[in-house]
C-alpha cells in the first residue's frame, strides 16, 4: 500500500475531505499545490451538505492518505468567480467546489451559488444570488 502526505481541506459540517490538486492556473505556490494566489483564504462550497466554509492556508490539514482512497470517488475541483455586487468595483468573489469527473461547469456554478452562508468578500459583502458569473475554471490534477 502506498501512502502519500497530501493537503486536505475538510468540511466542518459533514467532514467531506477534498484533496487540493497540484498547483496550476494562477494558484501556484511554494507548496506546489493549488491555492488562490490573490487570497489568504479559500472558500469551498461543499457538494455534499451545501455548507460554505472558509479555509486558511496555514490551517490546511496534511493527511496521510492511502493512494487507493483517492481513486474513489473521482472528483474535480472548480474555481468559480463572481463579480462583486458593488458596481463591480471590488475584487471578484472566488468560490471553489467539487463535482464528479463528469460534472459540468453549470453544476459547479449552481453549487457555488447555493452554498450557505453566502460567500463574502472584503467588507463582508454577501454574494448576491444574481451576481454575475465572471469565469469558471477546472483546477485539474497534473
The footprint of Zn ion on residues 27-66 (CB under 5 A) is 46, 48-49, 51
DSSP type of residue 25: T
Radius of gyration of the chain (CA): 15
Helix (H, G, I), strand (E, B) or coil at 17: strand
User: Which of 16, 63, 107, 109 touches Zn ion (CB under 5 A)?
Assistant: 16
Q: Applying CB under 5 A, which part among 5-13, 57-65, 81-89, 102-110 lies near Zn ion?
A: 5-13
54 exposure class (CB count in 10 Å sphere: 0-12, 13-18, 19+) = middle
Q: Which is nearer to Zn ion, 46 or 84 (CB)?
A: 46
- Pairing mode, strands 3-10 and 61-66: antiparallel
CB 11 to Zn ion: min, Å: 3
Tell me how far, at minimum, the Cβ of 10 lies from Zn ion, in Å. 9
Report if residue 116 touches Zn ion, rule: CB under 5 A. no
* Residue indicated by cell numbers 494562477: 26
Q: Note the residues at the interface with Zn ion (CB under 5 A).
A: 11, 13-14, 16, 46, 48-49, 51
Amino acid at each position: 500500500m502506498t501512502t502519500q502526505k497530501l493537503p486536505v481541506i475538510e468540511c466542518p459540517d459533514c467532514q467531506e475531505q477534498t484533496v487540493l490538486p497540484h498547483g496550476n492556473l494562477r494558484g501556484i505556490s511554494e507548496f506546489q499545490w493549488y491555492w488562490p494566489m490573490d487570497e489568504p483564504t479559500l472558500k469551498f462550497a461543499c457538494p455534499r451538505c451545501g455548507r460554505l466554509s472558509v479555509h486558511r492556508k496555514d490551517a490546511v490539514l496534511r493527511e496521510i492518505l492511502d493512494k487507493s482512497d483517492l481513486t474513489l470517488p473521482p472528483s474535480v475541483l472548480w474555481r468559480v468567480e463572481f463579480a462583486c455586487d458593488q458596481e463591480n468595483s471590488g475584487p471578484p468573489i472566488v468560490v471553489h467546489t467539487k463535482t464528479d469527473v463528469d460534472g459540468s461547469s453549470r453544476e459547479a456554478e449552481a453549487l457555488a451559488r447555493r452554498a450557505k452562508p453566502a460567500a463574502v468578500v472584503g467588507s463582508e459583502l454577501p454574494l448576491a444570488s444574481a451576481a454575475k458569473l465572471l469565469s469558471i475554471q477546472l483546477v485539474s490534477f497534473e
